[in-house]
Structure 1
Amino acid sequence: MRCSPLVLTSLLASATTVLAGRSLGHVGKRLEQHVSKRAAGAQDTKRFAALPRAVDEPLFLNANTTKFAVNGTGIPDVDFDVGESYAGSLPISSDPDEDSNLFFWFFPSKNPAAEKEILIWLNGGPGCSSFEGLLQENGPFVWQYGTYKPVANPWAWNALTHTVWVEQPVGTGFSTGTITAKNEDDIASQFMGFWKNFVDTFAMQGYKVYIAGESYAGVYCPYIASAMLDAEDKTYYNMSGMLIYDPVIATDELQEPIPAVQFVDYFAGLFPFNDTFKADLKARDKKCGYSDFVEKYLVYPPKGNIPLPLPGTDANGTTLDECWNIYYDIFDAALLVNPCFDIYQIATTCPLLWDVLGFPGSLEYLPNGTTLYFDRPDVKAAIHAPANVTWEECSSDDVFVGGRDGSPPSNLKVLPNVIDKTQNVIIGHGALDMILLANGTLLGIQNMTFGGKLGFQERPDEPFYVPYNDITTLESLAAGGVFGTTHTERGLTYVGIDLSGHMIPQYAPSAAFRHLEFLLGRVDCMNCTTPFTIDTGAPQSAQSLGLGTAPQGWSDKKGNSTCTKRKRTSVKDKMRLLRK
């Protein structure tokens, strides 16, 4: 592609607004550094009867929790009662001199099935606040970018189970103290100290614990869950399952540059590059050996562990700049043809919508006169947050000593440990996410040993079905029907989600709700037409569902599957296959 130096400089300069935001901060500093360098309403409750609502008798109010209680009718700009909740800080250890703490906001569930269980939600970064998830993904009220005001969320996760959103590690959001973590073992240890204090405060001894998150939480969650399992202490750490979305589970190269050109080919209509630039990408991809690598190793069953060094590296195993830059050049070129290109949801176009958290996509944007929601004094006061802390969606400062997480990828040890010990792990990936590519996640799975075998033995191709629902209010519309692809083997379920970007509970809330029902054991299939557990009367599809629809999983240069074609089976047989 060609454009004048003036235009190129202007557009790349605008891209620097990405720097410390949710978005590029989700998975680390590399893309942030690249951009910097280049630039030098009401819900329908007729059926959803189990949704949380204010009740006369709080479930968790006691002498220890009173100071954390939040007035459900006193949340700024929220014109309805969000119900019982608790927010505040708890230390990361039992040491009375401990100066570090994690900040949380806990929303109990009124669902009778939620007794003696709780789910932890973590956002990524490292250093991005989980209140992003609370406010724009799966909390009881949501304020999506471009919308007028907060609205009740019929897809809130505490409609199913007790849910707590935790800002971690230390240095994230309202979590304050001395940053001492050097790696994920330190993060897990600190979180477990916080969690013991949380359990004691809310008298939750013996509760089943589930953990979920997205992006860099693909590192956080497996390390924390694995540490809880290894503790063999079900009084405090009764880890029972894990759900991670668009997760960092493998090396950056596997999840970003290696599958990038195939991704652009598949979604060519969203990357309308000229022939010259496309030819240049193809030539560099071939020289680096990337598409050939995907074709060879994204197969089912895997041929063996992915050998090192990876393609496109020098004699020391370091990725060559010309190969890494394939990924970055795609991003830069996409911004030229679509100045509002969102690397987290590639179908996004202009205009750039405002966001109360400051990042409606790849670019930072907060109109003059507006303030980050959680940095407002009235919001801080409502949730007992420290008034002297400047809240950021993603921390401007490093949350690891030295600025680097020194831990191995989670797919090497801790993620398999969680799969094997819980037999209840879900990995979901949005089809329209480019910050982390679904084929890279699948490569990470195919290079992971769990249940005594390497990777999936069969290609994911079952239909992922989202139940139709009776939610008809415009601010809460969400998809139904076959909405992707799913597959389960040996305790691990993979779900590819159509039409979703990086933040699946935000872009596909009904799909995420079904994932959570499956994780909690409320339903036993995701390739069947079982209705939502809190919307049992909505009519469902009576047709054969066919195969899955999410595009990920292809492994040749043209985007076609090279695996052996399987005979189409009935929904009943697919259910049996899914659960084996």
Structure 2
Amino acid sequence: MFRVTVVLAALSAATALQATVRMAPVAASVCADSVKQYAGYVDVSDEWNSHYFAWLSESRSNPSADPLIVWLTGGPGCSSSLAMFGENGPCTYKPDGTGTVYNPFGWNSKANVMFIDQPAGVGYSYADRGGYSHNETQVGEFMVAFFTGFYKKYPQFANNPLYMACESYGGHFCPATTYALLQSNKLAGTNFPIKGMSIGSGLVDPAAQYPTFPAFVHDWCIEKLGRPCVDQSGYESMVAASPKCSELIAQCQVNTSACEPAKQFCNAAMFGPYDATGFNPYDIRSKCEIPPMCYNFTGLTSFLNLESTKKAIGVEGHDWAPCNSQVYTDFDSDWMKNMAWTIPPILEADIRVWVYAGDVDFIVQWIGNQAWTESLEWSGAKGYNATVLKPWTWNGKYAGKHHSFGGLSFTTVSNAGHLAAHDQPESTLGMINAFISGQPLPTA
């Protein structure tokens, strides 16, 4: 029923909404890049007074022909501006919050890139409280509505290849959006030019990912750091809790009322021993200096709440925060839902999928990401699972490991945490450019 609902909701959004788009040009001085930029709102629901904020930066190369990458940050409940100004956007923020500086590794080097705050309540996006999303049916519905309005306002991008790119809980958001766009094309006659989907350190299939945490904190941490990431008692408690965690995740797939208890138990069991160490769950090499996010976003918060900034991007009257705890809580029953079921039909439709993960991220670690890609049932499964991880390089230096078959690729990014593009901006730019151009990664 869930899958049918996704399709019907997306089709309703594509055919019924007459979206108003309030995006306008942005002066280059706001985000330090000379390319054309546009920011503002797309109205995605009249019923719920729901408005999604987006910021589009044109390609530094050939905007009329280059692909459009659309980025969704995870959380759930965190703003895509965190990535735009802290990872892979055209500019980065000054620590004192007074402005921005040019980012030479922005993903708009060979692509138009748009960052969207979604769902409602995230970043600058807003809606009536009843319009806040709490599952992937609604995510898909509102994102189809967003694109419906966006392409009416900016038809010059309608023929540019579209690539979704997401991070963290975006492992739910990206599959939901891509699948909804695909179904809208098939059943509602839309022509969304979706060609690919990239997921960075994403939570996609909890049933495949959660059982790998004990191996990560013990075996991989010893290999990478020379020590386990938790003490022996913590490791043993994780191993002991794993069967019950898997059982609860399985129950969640058939009974939504079991999903919140599954999240509570599994996160306590798998994250608790690591959290007790005081180390950063987003980078196992360092301590968490500023809990709970472990990174200092005060400069970005100051910049995005300057009245001059808000006026320049059309969000006057709205304040910005990195994450929204209410939105996070709203997705409690969605967290443990498996979104991997969307991947086979996406692949069979010749929409390529590139999964990557930093090899020093704990919170959505690489072993679990590899595991869910290998558990997929699709026409290329045998060929994909027969391949092995091999080193890839960037500018002649080791950059991680990679394997690919058909339309599915999996990549580790060496010495990168959860925010891979922040930690390794040069190699991740090379990776995404290889993806959108259909080229292989350089190998050792």
Normalising TM by the smaller chain, what interval?
0.7 to 0.9
1:347 aligns with 2:278: no
Which residue is equivalent to 2:435? 519
1:504 aligns with 2:413: no
1:202 aligns with 2:157: no
Which residue is equivalent to 2:67? 117
Q: Cα gap change, 1:516/1:86 in structure 2, threshold over 3 Å: closer, same or farther?
A: same
Q: Cα gap change, 1:107/1:249 in structure 2, threshold over 3 Å: closer, same or farther?
A: same
Tell me, what secondary structure is at the counterpart of 2:285? Answer: coil
Partners of 1:134 and 1:165 within 8 A in 2: yes
Which residue is equivalent to 2:232? 279
Deviation at 1:405, TM superposition (A): 2.6
Matching residue within 356, 362, 367 for 1:439: 367
Kindly, what percent of the aligned residue pairs are identical? 22
Deviation readout 1:407-446 (Å, 9 max, x if unpaired): 83111x2122222212511000110000112111122222
1:106 aligns with 2:44: no
1:264 aligns with 2:218: yes
Which residue is equivalent to 1:573? none
Tell me, what secondary structure is at the counterpart of 1:267? Answer: helix
Deviation at 1:188, TM superposition (A): 0.8
Which residue is equivalent to 2:175? 222
Tell me, what secondary structure is at the counterpart of 2:326? Answer: coil
Q: Cα gap change, 1:118/1:214 in structure 2, threshold over 3 Å: closer, same or farther?
A: same
Tell me, what secondary structure is at the counterpart of 2:284? Answer: coil
> How far apart in 1 are the matches of 2:94 and 2:382?
40
1:89 aligns with 2:27: no
Deviation at 1:377, TM superposition (A): 2.1
> How far apart in 2 are the matches of 1:223 and 1:378?
35
Partners of 1:456 and 1:489 within 8 A in 2: yes
5+ long unaligned stretches in structure 1: 1-63, 294-306, 311-315, 336-340, 353-358, 469-479, 529-544, 546-580
> How far apart in 2 are the matches of 1:320 and 1:516?
32
Partners of 1:199 and 1:236 within 8 A in 2: no
> How far apart in 1 are the matches of 2:39 and 2:263?
47
- 1:380-459 residue pairs with structure 2 within 5 A? 380-387=310-317, 389-398=318-327, 404-405=333-334, 408-411=337-340, 413-451=341-379, 453=381, 456-459=384-387
Deviation readout 1:81-134 (Å, 9 max, x if unpaired): 5432110001115x5x76211100011114137616311011001111111110
Partners of 1:120 and 1:163 within 8 A in 2: yes
Q: Which has the higher strand share?
A: 2
Letter in 1 for 2:277: A
Deviation readout 1:179-200 (Å, 9 max, x if unpaired): 2534212211111111111111
Q: Cα gap change, 1:237/1:507 in structure 2, threshold over 3 Å: closer, same or farther?
A: same
Deviation at 1:514, TM superposition (A): 1.7
- TM-score w.r.t. length of structure 2: 0.80
Deviation at 1:66, TM superposition (A): 9.3
Partners of 2:374 and 2:381 within 8 A in 1: no
Deviation at 1:378, TM superposition (A): 2.3
Q: Cα gap change, 1:67/1:487 in structure 2, threshold over 3 Å: closer, same or farther?
A: closer
Partners of 1:116 and 1:206 within 8 A in 2: no
5+ long unaligned stretches in structure 2: 1-19, 253-257
Matching residue within 32, 49, 72 for 2:28: 72
Letter in 1 for 2:68: I
Q: 322-331 or 163-172: which moved more? A: 322-331
Which residue is equivalent to 1:484? 400
Aligned length: 409
Matching residue within 295, 302, 305 for 1:372: 302
> How far apart in 2 are the matches of 1:107 and 1:456?
35
Partners of 1:243 and 1:425 within 8 A in 2: yes
Partners of 1:212 and 1:244 within 8 A in 2: yes
Tell me, what secondary structure is at the counterpart of 2:182? Answer: helix
> How far apart in 1 are the matches of 2:404 and 2:344?
14
Letter in 1 for 2:282: Y
> How far apart in 1 are the matches of 2:95 and 2:375?
37
- TM-score w.r.t. length of structure 1: 0.63
- 1:33-72 residue pairs with structure 2 within 5 A? 68-72=24-28
Q: Cα gap change, 1:256/1:270 in structure 2, threshold over 3 Å: closer, same or farther?
A: farther
Deviation at 1:366, TM superposition (A): 6.5
1:187 aligns with 2:146: no
Q: Cα gap change, 1:372/1:271 in structure 2, threshold over 3 Å: closer, same or farther?
A: farther
> How far apart in 2 are the matches of 1:320 and 1:403?
7
Deviation at 1:372, TM superposition (A): 3.4
Q: Cα gap change, 1:429/1:186 in structure 2, threshold over 3 Å: closer, same or farther?
A: same
> How far apart in 2 are the matches of 1:110 and 1:427?
25
Q: Cα gap change, 1:495/1:360 in structure 2, threshold over 3 Å: closer, same or farther?
A: farther
Partners of 1:212 and 1:221 within 8 A in 2: yes
Tell me, what secondary structure is at the counterpart of 1:429? Answer: strand
Partners of 1:170 and 1:399 within 8 A in 2: no
Task: Answer with 1 or 2: which has the greater Rg.
Answer: 1
